[in-house]
Amino acid sequence: MATEPVTEAQPPPPPPAVRPRRLPRGFPRPLYQVERFFRILGPGLITGAADDDPSGIGTYSQVGAAFGTGQLWLALYLLPLAIAVQEMCGRIGLVTGAGIAGVVRRRYSRSLLFGAVLLLVIANTINIGADLGAMVASTQLLVPQVPGIALLIGFTALVVLLEVFVPYRQYARVLKVLVLSLGAYVITAFLIQPDWLALLRATVVPNIQFTPPFLALLVAILGTTISPYLFFWQASEEVEERELHHPDYRGTTPKQQRKSLRAWIHDLRLDTTLGMFISVATFWFIVMTTGLTLHPNGITTIATPDQAARALVPLVQGFPHAGTIAGAIFALGIVGTGLLAVPVLAGAAAYGVCETFGWREGLALPLGRARNFYIIIALATLVGLGLNLLGINPIQALVYAAVINGILAVPLLVLIMRIANDKEVMGAFANGWLSNLGGGITTLAMGAAAVVTLVALFWH
């Protein structure tokens, strides 16, 4: 049965008018605008920061090592596509008041629902395992005497405890701060003193190679930049933000609801654009840095954290034990982004499963009110821990996880496009031509890249 998200049959009378927020006496209006700007940053910024997880760092580093700066163009052309996809996901959450799995459950078939959530859980669990393994391997650069299994258990326990017991408002503030952990690549890029004109040319002019290694890394880049877990996470987090800050939204008239939604969607687009810009800019700087430091020195395949860390040596050149310091900076970046991304991965899986079965869910709820939600978070993280016992190289596993994400994202993108264009679900906020253009190009590009890569690898 169709649902109408922005209207109700018999809406109750509107609540008393809320007086506009008054500025403190002497508070400069420009500072108020800055303060308001930071207040509207939320799920979009966190999503963009989580996008640069250990899997992203590993994949981007491998691209720079293998191809130098020749693939910088991917950052420029992926940015509008990533923004378009994440804006659609966030808009679905804001308009419907439900995550993607919740919308599919109410509107579409159960087989479609179970298939989508199964793809999400598989992709997220593999990604959790790869990220945890990279966190352990990178930490051992600093403390090689500590057994890997002890670090693995410690990181897993820390992630689960933080997500289960730390209130969401505090957790969100911490996630925003962790965005700064990858600044070392930006600083290093300027210290190298590169040929900026050549880098601009490499950023604008595509360099496509029809070889299995290039195609595999192309799918990995697409998969780690436009990832399934980000789709579900941002939609569900926009719902939580709405309930957290606007609990009386359903008590207003349909006209007031539409006006509020327009304002929130405006803020969503700003939030998402900034978040994905930070994500893709980080991608560009990592590829640029590794392409100018590792590739010219013969490191074209990254198999260990130590090899990846050499890209940051120019940052501490001239210091005693520069290699050790660079390793420490790399390790802190991997651990920081891992602590940011693994909870997002586990949380996205929990949102999907709970919405599928109609269980209470949400990071804003305490453990006692959303027990199943937090159990799924713990289970997903523990299964990710178990994958590290298979003996797969932790750094190479980051790229494998990105490739899997790139393949599994395609059917989920088709589903998201279907929801975003369904006027019975989205009402007046269904996709326009620009959203359809961005989403359509993304879906076709990722689908074509996945098919060609699978064929090329099989044929090879």
The per-residue pLDDT for range 192-242, each reduced to its tens digit, is 888 999 999 999 999 888 787 888 888 889 888 888 888 888 888 888 777
Is the separation of the CB atoms in 425 and 415 below 8 Å? no
What is residue 97's predicted lDDT score, i.e. its pLDDT? 87
CA 284/CA 339 separation, integer angstroms: 22
What is residue 77's predicted lDDT score, i.e. its pLDDT? 94
Nearest to 222 by CA among 79, 346, 378, 119: 79
Query: Is the pLDDT confidence value at 251 over 80?
Result: no
Domain residue spans in the chain?
Answer: 43-459
Q: How confident is the model at residue 151 (pLDDT cuts 50, 70, 90)?
A: very high
E strands, 250-397, are none
Q: 146: which DSSP letter?
A: S
Query: Is the pLDDT confidence value at 94 over 80?
Result: yes
**How would you label 113-123 residue by residue, b for 16+ Cβ within 10 Å and e otherwise?**
beebbebbbeb
Q: Kindly report the average pLDDT of the chain as a whole number.
A: 81
Please identify, in words, the CATH class of the domain defined by 43-459: mainly alpha
Encoded tokens for 133: 């393994």
Over residues 247-269, the mean pLDDT reads 78
Query: Is the pLDDT confidence value at 58 over 90?
Result: no
Nearest to 150 by CA among 162, 142, 141, 139: 139
For 156, the 3-state DSSP assignment is helix
Proportion of the chain above pLDDT 90, given as a percent: 29
CA 71/CA 75 separation, integer angstroms: 8
Over residues 273-301, the mean pLDDT reads 89
Query: Is the pLDDT confidence value at 129 over 60?
Result: yes
Q: How confident is the model at residue 376 (pLDDT cuts 50, 70, 90)?
A: very high
Write the DSSP string, 303-356: -SHHHHHGGGGGGGTTSTTHHHHHHHHHHHHHHHHHHHHHHHHHHHHHHHHHHH
CA 7/CA 3 separation, integer angstroms: 9
